[in-house]
Structure 1
Amino acid sequence: MPEAKPSGSRLAAWRADFHAWRQKRRDRNELENLSSSTLRDLAIDRSEITSIVTSGEGERRRNRGD
């Protein structure tokens, strides 16, 4: 039995999710490549990078008791 083709809206949703995932990956890589000094200037601890990239606006978790 042939597989059903995804509907246009499901395909569009998958594509949007895929592009969002790729952007988060690029953002994480860019932050990880910054020097510790630059991250400190931005008030970002290296341990926060994943949280910053994956959390929504304003949901950043602080690990230093800030």
Structure 2
Amino acid sequence: MTEENSPAVAKRSGWITLLRIVLVLLFLVVALVGGTVVGYVVLGKQEIGGVWQWETWRHVFDLVFAP
């Protein structure tokens, strides 16, 4: 390896690392949304439109954190 090739490899690996981080975060968001929809629609037997309503999440929050 020469000194001329080292900066190009380091720069490329930085972009690859950034791309991997972005892809992992994207997959986590997709998994969260997919799991929420499946849990609400399939397990809860509710309409899919209820997943996106604020009242639904307020009710869930109240159930989880009720005194």
TM-score, length of structure 1 as denominator length: 0.47
Q: Which has the higher contact order (CA 8 A, sep 6+)?
A: 1
Q: Whose helix proportion is higher, 1 or 2?
A: 2
TM-score, length of structure 2 as denominator length: 0.46
Higher-Rg structure is: 2
